[in-house]
Amino acid sequence: MNQMEKPEQFDIDALRRKVSASGEPGKATAPGEEAEINPLAKQIATQFSEENYSPSIVTGQLRLLEFVSLFAIGLGVHYFLFNDPSSRFLTDLLVGLAGSALAVLFMQIADSYQVSALRTPLRALPRIAGSWTLAAALIALALFLFRPGGLDFRDWLVSWYGFGLAFLFVERNLVGFGIRRWARNGIMERRAVVVGGGKPAKDLIRALEQQPENDIRICGIFDDRGSARSPDVVAGYPKLGTIAELVEFARLAHIDMLIIALPLSAEARILHLLKMLWVLPVDIRLAAHSNSLRFRPRSYSHVGAVPMLDILDKPIRDWDSVAKRGFDIFFSIVALLLLWPVFIGAAIAVKATSKGPVLFVQKRHGFNNEVINVLKFRSMYTEMSDPTARLAVTKGDPRVTPVGRFIRKSSIDELPQIFNVLRGDLSLVGPRPHAVLAQTHDRLYGDVVEGYFARHRVKPGVTGWAQINGWRGEVDNDDKIKFRTAYDLYYIENWSLLFDLKILFLTPFRLLNTENAY
């Protein structure tokens, strides 16, 4: 948590702590009780239902492309320039790797991977050419100083430099054309919703529009106040509904950011809004362009020259999400290779001992409260199964078959969810997906735990931090779901690949404790 200056009326660290704490004011809308959004909001949400390209992912891929391409050009020059391509191959290989890496590093230092530089490649060309020239010059100097006969590399190095410079010129112009086209089509942008209307929202939108490096697309405005205090159209953007409707809107549209356009002095109202909005998997920013208060620079993000206070960040984003997806695919394939005899044995046992299908499909909450179909080996008699999970399985439950009792205690019934992981509905590690209508004592989980739906800010998992800490099996009182949620939120806030690996490694050992599994 950033340590910041504490102004008299606004403490951002305390605000962050209040957002994740239980209590009033504010309560997230539960699924099945969402505010019905109006036709205009629904139409706009449909327009933004397709996922956009993250700028950081695009620029990361571009770095990799340029490194690989420059390296390949170096090898190509080596192959075609010499009658005996095997001579000096190892040296040219190492020099090519070093030169390509230096070029990408220098272009990074020169801000050549900023979206603004990619949009206007001709303006950025001097920085790109300078970076490539500097990399080639350092390689030439190193060869001259540290390798006998270093001048023998002159023809290869000059050819590599020339072909590399030509490649960068052509490639950057093609990339610039593509990015400008994506920007026009709304594919590469950050989609934002303004929370709060009136003059603060108008000033914010006007300030963003004046920024040449603005990559934010305003999708609309949401405000609880009536038309007298908050006009229906602000700076050309329509007010699409209330804050409760915003929660449903953000689940239909792919939104990247919520920008709260309120003065910092309105801490009580900001806190009320955040208590409703923090369950969404988006960045939450507080517009700070018109406030005289100033915090330490690391508390801010900027759009051009427009400062915003970073309140909450979307968890597991950009390259972290790519790494986690790679982790899921790799270990899912390993699990299938190791456990296929268990899959076959369980399927035969389920089919041979009771009538009905081998697999059981249940609707559960997925990422951002989307409803997904989760696979399990069937553990109940078909005629007694409960797809809604309104009635939790209890000890000695007559609905469970003898084989079902064993595979539930050993968690073998969960193994088909590996196919959900490969399909992208689940992650290997994450908060366990609960059935849509799961409840305790006739109360839905969302009614028991305030902030319960914040656990859906990441993909649910086959195993999780709560499960390996003993919070699995029957939920027969409020405390059990409260503790599960607390462990799930801890996992989300402290996620890392090493944390995932730790949970995955401990899962088989913790499953030996079957006390709460029926």
Q: Give the type of residue at 454.
A: A
Question: Residue 371's pLDDT is what?
Answer: 87
**Host domain of residue 172:** 55-185
- 309 φ/ψ angles, rounded to the nearest 5 degrees: -80, 130
Residue 234: pLDDT above 70? yes
Residue 231 lies in a domain: yes
Residue 232 lies in a domain: yes
Same domain, residue pair 434 and 485: yes
Q: What is the mean pLDDT of the chain?
A: 81
Residue 3 lies in a domain: no
Residue 1 lies in a domain: no
Residue 340: pLDDT above 50? yes
Same domain, residue pair 288 and 208: yes
Question: Residue 304's pLDDT is what?
Answer: 65
Question: Residue 263's pLDDT is what?
Answer: 73
Task: Look at the chain and report how many structural domains it folds into.
Answer: 3
The token pair that represents 336 in the structure block: 């299938």
Which sign, positive or negative, has the C-alpha torsion 188, 189, 190, 195? negative
DSSP-based three-state secondary structure for 177: helix
CATH number at residue 288: 3.40.50.20
Same domain, residue pair 505 and 421: yes
Residue 417: pLDDT above 70? yes
| Averaged pLDDT, 340-348 | 92
| Averaged pLDDT, 29-40 | 62
Residue 382: pLDDT above 60? yes
Same domain, residue pair 175 and 235: no
Tell me if 275 sits within 8 A of 26, measured CB to CB. Answer: yes
Residue 258: pLDDT above 70? yes
Same domain, residue pair 44 and 61: no
pLDDT band per the 50, 70, 90 thresholds, residue 86: low
Q: How far apart, in Å, are the Cα atoms of 357 and each of 292, 361, 409?
A: 65, 10, 20
Q: What is the pLDDT of residues 117-152, one digit of tens each?
A: 888 888 889 999 999 999 999 988 887 777 665 445
DSSP-based three-state secondary structure for 410: coil
Question: Residue 343's pLDDT is what?
Answer: 93
Residue 4 lies in a domain: no
Question: Residue 54's pLDDT is what?
Answer: 79
Which of 268, 287, 314 represents a domain boundary (last residue)? 314
Residue 446: pLDDT above 60? yes
| Averaged pLDDT, 42-58 | 82
Residue 473: pLDDT above 70? no
Same domain, residue pair 418 and 393: yes
Question: Residue 138's pLDDT is what?
Answer: 92
**Which positions ≥6 away from 264 have C-beta within 8 Å?**
7, 9, 10, 270, 286, 288, 291, 293
Question: Residue 513's pLDDT is what?
Answer: 61
Residue 52: pLDDT above 60? yes
pLDDT band per the 50, 70, 90 thresholds, residue 22: very low
Which of 143, 168, 185 represents a domain boundary (last residue)? 185
| Averaged pLDDT, 272-285 | 85
Same domain, residue pair 326 and 360: yes
DSSP-based three-state secondary structure for 376: strand
**Which positions ≥6 away from 347 have C-beta within 8 Å?**
358, 377
Question: Residue 157's pLDDT is what?
Answer: 84
Tell me if 102 sits within 8 A of 138, measured CB to CB. Answer: yes
Residue 159 lies in a domain: yes
Residue 29: pLDDT above 70? no
Which of 261, 282, 314 represents a domain boundary (last residue)? 314
The model's pTM is 0.77
Question: Residue 4's pLDDT is what?
Answer: 36
